[in-house]
């Protein structure tokens, strides 16, 4: 989920957890997008999310309104 300590100046929004694993059909089998499950050993967030494996460090991402966003 995206959040901010300063809501007055933020353009971030809270996302429902189930949206963190939504992905466009054209990216369903993309080799560089990985689903990290809630029980994955290094997952400290406690919920499933998508991760872009190309950037270093790997980056959590979300597909929303036909665009990719970094979490």
Reply yes or no on whether the pLDDT at 28 is more than 90. no
Q: Is residue 6 part of a domain?
A: no
Q: Which domain holds residue 60?
A: 16-70
Q: Is residue 38 part of a domain?
A: yes
The chain-wide mean pLDDT, for the chain, equals: 82
Cα 31 from chain centroid?
16
The pLDDT assigned to 20 comes to 87
Q: Is residue 11 part of a domain?
A: no
Reply yes or no on whether the pLDDT at 2 is more than 50. no
Number of domains in the chain: 1
Reply yes or no on whether the pLDDT at 48 is more than 90. yes
Do residues 45 and 51 lie in contact, with contact meaning Cβ atoms separated by under 8 Å?
A: no
The pLDDT assigned to 10 comes to 63
| 1 Cβ contact list (under 8 Å, min separation 6) | 14, 15, 17, 20, 71
Q: Is residue 4 part of a domain?
A: no
Reply yes or no on whether the pLDDT at 12 is more than 90. no
């Amino acid at each position: 989920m995206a959040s901010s300590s300063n809501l007055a100046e933020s353009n971030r929004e809270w996302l429902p957890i189930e949206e963190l694993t939504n992905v466009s059909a054209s990216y369903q089998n993309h080799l560089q997008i990985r689903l990290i499950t809630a029980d994955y050993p290094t997952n400290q967030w406690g919920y499933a999310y998508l991760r872009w494996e190309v950037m270093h460090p790997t980056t959590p991402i979300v597909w929303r309104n036909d665009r990719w966003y970094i979490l």
